[in-house]
Structure 1
Amino acid sequence: MWESVLEVLQNVCQDGSIADQKGLASSLISKMESFEFVFVLHLMMKVLGITNELSNALQQKDQNIVNAMALIDTVKDRIQDLRDNRWDELLEEVRSFCDRMYIPVPNMEDKIPVRGRSRREEQWITYYHHYHAEIFIAVIDLIAIEMNNRFTETTTELLTCISCLDPRNSFSRFHHAKLLRLAEIYYDDFSIQDLQVLKEQLHTYIHDVRRCSDFVECDDLASLAVKLVESRKHLVFLLVYRLIELALILPVATTSVERSFSAMNIIKTDLRNKIGDEWLNDMMICYIERQVFETIDDEAILVRFQNMQNRRIQLPLH
């Protein structure tokens, strides 16, 4: 869409009626037709292309934690490979694009003044150092640091252990030792005696749920918890159910928590800071589950609202 965007900006410059808009469009054309803009654009396309699948996986409501964890390691490896081996490839792509679009390409050995310094101080660096060290390496290192901070060894271990509770494919990911390790991580919730009981309870639990047809349709932790309660097995496998509860309340285990907080920040603004809990809850449900509400006919909602109590006027149904 490069040429299309430039064409639109040129039209704004020629036909725009507001001087500020024409000036902004002219400035954007100059920036887009600079080597640095093209370089940053191609770099971000590389980075976002590497992280795209992981980003999508972590945003899914029914995310597969095992797949997400595998993607984390893959993304880290690809980011490191980009840093170590893909500089020349990226630079060649940028040069090729600039040649096609008639954008001047600087000589990488020429010198430019250090950003943020006066020319009088005579501090100079090469274009190569600027693009390679100050942009390419700096951006990739920042992403790598963020990845390591968000997905530490402890977090990775925790997610891997939680994935062993996954009920899909007849509890195929069940792993006795990792679930015991999960209980050990939550030492405040499981005493030494609880761990001893849990060690045998896990064996009984997995044999029981695999033999019970009621659990065949479970496809996530939430549905598993519901089915355990419905069958009253949460009272039998009390410690296993406690593990499931802990997994469900972890923000890293489901994106619904993050979505809920985002919705609350959108709904409860400064003008609505005195909104009641019940009203806030109702509004958040409508916002978070808007895809469900889109399938409901407006007339059915109006009728139900009208019948809730006597009103001075009748709401129009059409």
Structure 2
Amino acid sequence: MIQILGITNDLCQALQRKSQDILNAMHLVSNTKILIQKLRDDGWENLLQQVLLFCNNHDIEVPNMEDHYIYGRGRFRQPKDRVTNLHYFRYDVFIAAIDSQLHELDFRFNDEMIELLSLSSSLDPKRKFQNFKADDIYKLVSKFYPADFTEQEELNLKKHTQLDSLKSIYDLCRWLAETEKGEIYYLIDRLRAFSAMKLIKTALRNRMEDDYLTDSLIVYVQKGIAKEFDIDLIIDEFASKKDRRSILKISKTNK
């Protein structure tokens, strides 16, 4: 059991981390299944040797593996279906425990679910949608969401080879604007704005005016443009509007 827990520990820890991205998690699931299956096929002899060594070091009696397994205690002890100790410990305990773990993993992460989550990783917003792939989006639409998209929309996605060169959702929004397809697929940039709004609209900003929220969203969404802003010019413009109670910038004077 400790060997099974050792294999699944990395997966359990990874799934509990909020920073874990979908694709890495699915790779860990696949690797965990492979390692557990390998333990099932080739791990018995190694485990048996470890158990025998432990028993010998601690003066624990080891039953003869060729004898019939006896279950129960005291006068209620009796042979179990005429199976040997080796058969019982290997198949009824060792392999049964591993099969139970594999069944649970297959139930929670079957092949179809892993494929769905792996393809969905293309929509992961982390690192500016670095995992965005047009081909994965097409597979996701055609295989898992055929009822949500028309044949025309699927064909448009497949025929536009320019989508293959897009590296992020921002490139997609720019391409939609340049080709004027943003008027047709207008939800893309809206979803981008709503995604940013969830980060910007905190409890404090909920009590502020909509204009302030709008200004904050513009700066957050258009980060590339915002980096070009000169802070000193902004402060000077702010100070020139009217007298302020506090000084934002201390003038440099020659001593």
Q: TM-score range by the shorter chain?
A: 0.5 to 0.7
Alignment of 1:267-286 (within 5 A): none
The alpha-carbon deviation at position 104 of structure 1 amounts to 1.7
Residue 108 (structure 2) pairs with residue 147 (structure 1): no
The alpha-carbon deviation at position 208 of structure 1 amounts to 6.5
Residue 113 (structure 2) pairs with residue 167 (structure 1): no
Post-superposition CA distance 1:159-181 (Å, at most 9, x none): 11111122344433221111112
Task: Identify which of 62, 67, 85 aligns with 1:105.
Answer: 62
Cα distance in 1 for partners of 2:80, 2:21 equals 55
Question: For 1:164, what is the secondary structure of its paired residue?
Answer: helix
**AA aligned opposite 1:171:** F
Once the two structures are overlaid, the 10-residue window that deviates more, 135-144 or 164-173, is: 164-173
1:291 aligned residue: none
2:152 aligned residue: 193
Superposed structure 1 runs of 4+ greater than 4 Å apart: 118-122, 197-202, 204-208, 239-243
1:201–1:240 contact (8 Å) kept in structure 2: no
Post-superposition CA distance 1:74-93 (Å, at most 9, x none): 11111111111111111111
**AA aligned opposite 1:189:** D
Cα distance in 1 for partners of 2:100, 2:134 equals 37
| Larger Rg, first or second structure (1 or 2) | 2
Alignment of 1:106-121 (within 5 A): 106-113=63-70
Question: For 1:102, what is the secondary structure of its paired residue?
Answer: coil
2:33–2:105 contact (8 Å) kept in structure 1: yes
The alpha-carbon deviation at position 205 of structure 1 amounts to 7.3
Cα distance in 1 for partners of 2:162, 2:27 equals 26
Q: How many residues in Structure 1 have an aligned counterpart in Structure 2?
A: 179
Residue 137 (structure 2) pairs with residue 179 (structure 1): yes
**TM (normalized to structure 2)?**
0.59
The alpha-carbon deviation at position 148 of structure 1 amounts to 1.9
Task: Identify which of 91, 102, 110 aligns with 2:48.
Answer: 91
Question: For 1:104, what is the secondary structure of its paired residue?
Answer: coil
Change (3 A) 1:106 1:163: same
- Identical pairs, percent: 37
> Which runs of no fewer than 5 residues in structure 2 stay unpaired?
174-181, 195-255
Task: Identify which of 170, 178, 182 aligns with 1:209.
Answer: 170
Cα distance in 1 for partners of 2:169, 2:35 equals 42
**TM (normalized to structure 1)?**
0.48
Residue 238 (structure 2) pairs with residue 238 (structure 1): no
2:70–2:79 contact (8 Å) kept in structure 1: no
Please report the RMSD computed on the Cα atoms of aligned residues, expressed in angstroms. 3.5
The alpha-carbon deviation at position 241 of structure 1 amounts to 7.0
Cα distance in 2 for partners of 1:194, 1:103 equals 70
1:198–1:240 contact (8 Å) kept in structure 2: no
> Which runs of no fewer than 5 residues in structure 1 stay unpaired?
1-43, 213-232, 246-318
1:83–1:140 contact (8 Å) kept in structure 2: yes
Residue 10 (structure 2) pairs with residue 49 (structure 1): no
1:58 aligned residue: 15
Post-superposition CA distance 1:289-314 (Å, at most 9, x none): xxxxxxxxxxxxxxxxxxxxxxxxxx
Post-superposition CA distance 1:271-293 (Å, at most 9, x none): xxxxxxxxxxxxxxxxxxxxxxx
